[in-house]
Structure 1
Amino acid sequence: MGFPGRFVQLIMDYISGIDFAVMVNGEECGYIQPGKGLRQGDPLSPYLFILCMEGLIALINEAVEEGSWVCLTWFY
């Protein structure tokens, strides 16, 4: 979608750069780095969803124009 590389990198760092400390009996015993850093309720989540959907729509429209994606309409 034409975003600057630095902007994309900031978003990627935001959604993938979270570590959780595990504590057992009040002592740290390790860290967990989840595969997905964005969590439900995160204020950035709706905006990232919209950006991803806009990108997907653009890719689908481009494929339809090229003829490599055929849209079927079903009537009931």
Structure 2
Amino acid sequence: MGVFVKLVENRPPKEYAEQGVADISYTDITEGDSEMVYEYDLLPSGALRILQVAKGEAPAVHAIYAPGLWFRVEGQWHGNTE
């Protein structure tokens, strides 16, 4: 499933803006026995953390977005056991 982050759009005038710049996708990798998925969680400050979770290993922080930089996230919440 991966994680999709929609960033706050703080762009130059529309004639210079590139479509999709404010969208970031983290795609899960599943090849054979190796599996690495992306999950997210929130810090008390409102910062969004994107975590890489490899099978059998502790989660690693891949990216952090400040509270005022993102406004929507979709994907797997870290800690769910579905």
Q: Which TM-score applies when normalising by structure 1?
A: 0.30
Decide which structure has the larger Cα Rg and report it. 1
More helix by proportion, 1 or 2?
1
More strand by proportion, 1 or 2?
2
Higher relative contact order (CA 8 A, sep 6+): 2
